[in-house]
Structures are given as structure tokens and as C-alpha cells.
Amino acid sequence: MRKLVLFAIFTLVCTLCLFAQQTPDPTGIITSHYATPRNSFVAGAIPKADLDRILHAGVRAPSARNLQPWHFTVVQNLNLARKMVSDTVEGNVLIVISAEGDGKTNNVQILDCALATQSINLAALAMGYGARIYTAPMDSLNKNLKGELGLPRGHSAVALVRVGKVAQGTDAVSAPSSRKAADTMITWK
């Protein structure tokens, strides 16, 4: 009888350990993702249904007073995309996030757009695509490409998210890059 009880306890402990190991970390996609390296993007079309799901994440992003000031311009045209990100490959999609204002001083809209940008970025990564946020192209984009992109009147781009297929074996979310120590950036009051 004693052996049976011990065996039952042992089995229970093993089961709990296994369960703990298999329970996915709910913050996983947020804490373990990293920007897809530029040379990991490969050619290949993204199904419209997947693009719609990724854009839906942007649409569902929170915004101040729920004003949703953003507009998403989906660039699938390779020549146009390469005017913003020169190493774009066939099938990559650039999602330009814009809002009314100059893209520099309209702070509330910029923050709203930043939240939508990250939602789009995380949704693409969670679906197994490569994704990378870009802001370096914004100045030349806002100076030269607003018309060609068809940005809404008075809008300036705040950021873009490059979404695309990644080379096999390049798991888009498995190698988090280093960050500063948490205790150097957190204050408890």
C-alpha cells in the first residue's frame, strides 16, 4: 500500500512537471521576438487572407480616445517598395502607417501609430512570417512618395513594417536579441 501511495505521488509530480514545461509562456511572442534580419527575407507571395489578419491587428490597436488616427497603405508593388527599402524581395509587403500631421510633432498620433505598428509587427511574427519595423525611410518617403503611395490628404508616414517569408530554418521568433538589464530601466515607487 505504501509503495502504491508513493508511486501515485511520484506520477502526480511528474505529470505536473510535464504540464509546467508544456504550458506556453503567454507573453512568449512579445518577449522572445526580434526584428527579422534583412537578409532572412525570401521571395514568396503572402496570401491575402494572412495579410488581412495582419492588418486586422493594426485596426484593433488601441489609440488615445479610440480616435484611430492611422491609415495603412499596403505596398505590394516591388518597384515602389524598393524606393523605401532597397533590398525588398519579390512577395515582401511593406505596410506604411501614416496619420494626419507632419509625422514629427503630432505626438499623440505618432504614439497611436507606434502601437498599431507593433501590433502589425507581432501579428506577422506570430503567424510565422518575417517582420521588421523601419523608420529610417520616413523622411525621404514623406518628401518624395506621398503622392505615389496615395497617402490620405494631410497625412505623413510614421513607420513601415516589412512583412515577408523567411528562409527555412530561420525561425522568426526564436532568438531574442540582448536587452539592457531590467533593473537599469525600472523604478519601483
Q: According to the binding rule CB under 6 A, does residue 134 interact with ligand FMN?
A: yes
- The binder of ligand FMN chosen from 45, 80, 111, 133 (CB under 6 A): 133
**Rounded Cα–Cα distance for residues 144 and 129 (Å):** 29
Site string for ligand FMN, 153-182 (x = CB under 6 A): ------------------------x-----
> Collapsing DSSP states into helix, strand and coil, what is residue 9?
helix
Q: According to the binding rule CB under 6 A, does residue 30 interact with ligand FMN?
A: no
Q: Are strands 70-75 and 41-42 parallel, antiparallel or unpaired?
A: unpaired
- The binder of ligand FMN chosen from 34, 40, 91, 108 (CB under 6 A): 34
**How many residues touch ligand FMN (CB under 6 A)?**
9
Give me the least distance between CB of 175 and ligand FMN, in Å please. 8
DSSP secondary structure of 89-108: -TT-EEEEEEEES-SSS-HH
- The binder of ligand FMN chosen from 9, 16, 136, 167 (CB under 6 A): 136
With b for 16 or more beta-carbon neighbours within 10 A and e for fewer, the 94-127 pattern comes to bbbbbbebebeebeebbebbbbbbbbbbbbbbbe
DSSP secondary structure of 138-150: HHHHHHHTHHHHT
- Select from 4-12, 63-71, 74-82, 133-141 the region that touches ligand FMN (CB under 6 A): 133-141
Q: According to the binding rule CB under 6 A, does residue 35 interact with ligand FMN?
A: yes
Can you give the binding site for ligand FMN, defined by CB under 6 A? 34-35, 38, 132-136, 177
